[in-house]
Structure 1
Amino acid sequence: MEEPFNPSPPRPRRRRVFSGLRNSFLTGIVVIAPVGLTVWLIWTVIGWVDGVVLPFIPNSYHPENIMKTVFGNDTQVRLRGLGLLFFLIFTTFVGWLAKGLLGRSLIRTAEGLVNRMPVVRSIYSGVKQIAETVFAQADRSFEKACIIEYPRKGIWAIGFISTKARGEIKRRVNGGKELLSVFVPTTPNPTSGFLLFFPAEDIIELDMTVEDAAKLVISAGLVYPNENGGLSIKNSENQNNDAKKV
């Protein structure tokens, strides 16, 4: 005798509601977290700059004292940004002065004094090289995103093409043929990584932008750029469905 067909019982309504709430909560976290972290970071940096710069500004010019003078002593307002404003004005003025003849003469004199100090000159030269590398207008960004076979054949890694090899490295390696310097970042912190030199023919340049490639690295492969120029993210609901199928 054949047993009647018993379809699987329907999913409890309470579980469906809980799953929907959980997915909505995770989606909200994905939306809010980048905005919240960005605002928090900007607010923290402004506060840090104010804490360093404001001690050099007379108290009568502090925002709190100005507010008390205008609206009375009972006014309690905490304003940020004055120190950052003074820092930007001062830095711009120093840069403008350094481009002139007098500024260049003062810089050469100061560097001459620093170079006579054994320990200080090492610190100064290192910091100066880092600053020039980071803030140089011509070479401050990577040229292209690429993919390379690293650390062995058959394994591929995302990299960023920085410059063409020059000088001694080009002369001594690969018979003087064209070499490209490639920065291979780590995940999820792309500020650390490896500087590698590859022959140009061993590098596959990608159509995605440097920013999209960086997002791919930071997300550990979860965020891919799509063909329309946007980003493709696999949401948690699809992941749950895939897991159930397995």
Structure 2
Amino acid sequence: MSAALRKYILTGLLVWLPLAVTVWVLTSVVGLLDGIFAWLVVAAQTVLPASLKPALTQLREIQGLSVIVMVLALLLTGLAVTNIAGQWIVTQSNRVFSNIPIVKSIYNSVKQVSDTLFSSSGQAFRHAVLVQYPRQGSWTIAFVTGKPGGEVGDHLPGDMLTVYVPTTPNPTSGFMLIVPRAEVVELAMSVDEALKYVISMGVVSPPSAPKIHS
């Protein structure tokens, strides 16, 4: 294969690969939501009157309706919990799930992580840093998730940070490290830019931070 032909093929691949992966991910997510929605419709058909079953069956066959239902459910839930009655219901639900054996360990763990990640006042994943991993002199991008606390923090000397080191090209898996703050190099790049750098295996480099002249 000539160099020119190989170049054109690679160029075409770079154009189509991001689009193909994006379509595949979105299709997988919509398919998963459609499956959950279909299961809920079947469950509703066993409870609701028989006169509503044909309408529910038609709803189940509408592709992508689950996405609209999910967005509306999230919106209505967010609106509901902004008042006193909604907050009371959420509190009681948390209390019920927190008292069920086995379920409480899963529910509380997921709730703590989600509250930390999505809280507007939290610091998790707010900025990217450089840390030496897996050995001295070898650097990688990490995301600050907070400071070690509790018993772990009591056993660690000095000012420490908890960071998450993502794997590439799949940043959803990774490693949690506790490192001295003095050994962490803060980056000016945004979290999105850092994730692109990780996912692309270093191919998509973010722009250099502007230098401050004294």
- Cα distance 1:81–1:148, how it changes in 2: closer, same or farther (>3 A)? same
Distance 1:171 1:227, change over 3 A: same
1:114 to 84, 97, 117: 97
| Counterpart residue identity of residue 140, structure 2 | A
CA drift at 1:64: 7.6
- In structure 1, the residue corresponding to 2:102 is in which secondary structure? helix
Paired residue secondary structure (1:224): coil
User: Which residue is equivalent to 2:55?
Assistant: 60
Is the aligned partner of 1:181 residue 2:165? no
**How far does residue 24 in structure 1 lie from its aligned partner after superposition?**
1.0
Question: Normalising by the residue count of structure 1, what TM-score does the alignment of the two structures yield?
Answer: 0.66
Q: Which residue of 1 aligns with 2:129?
A: 146
Q: Does 1:222 align with 2:203?
A: yes
Conserved? CA contact 1:53–1:87, under 8 Å: no
Tell which deviates more after alignment, 56-65 or 192-201.
56-65
| Paired residues of 1:53 and 1:84 also in contact (CA < 8 A) | no
In structure 2, the residue corresponding to 1:223 is in which secondary structure? coil
Give the aligned partner of residue 26 of structure 2. Answer: 42
CA contact (8 A) 1:181 1:198 kept: yes
Give the secondary-structure state (helix, strand or coil) at the position aligned to 2:141: strand
Post-superposition shift, 1:180?
2.0
Q: 1:187 to 1:21 in 2, by over 3 A?
A: same
Output aligned runs, 1:136-175, within 5 Å.
136-139=119-122, 142-166=125-149, 168-174=151-157
Instruction: Find the aligned partners of 1:50 and 1:21 in 2 and give their Cα distance.
Output: 42
TM-score (norm 2): 0.74
Structure number with larger C-alpha Rg: 1
Unmatched tracts of structure 1, length 5 or more: 1-14, 66-77, 230-246
Indicate which of 79, 84, 88 corresponds to 1:101: 84
CA distance in 1, matches of 2:97, 2:120: 26
- 2:80 is aligned with 1:85: no
Aligned length: 199
Q: In the alignment, what sits opposite 1:133?
A: 116
Shift of 1:85: 1.1
Aligned to 2:35: 51
Aligned partner of 1:206 in structure 2 is: 187
Name 1:70's counterpart in structure 2: none
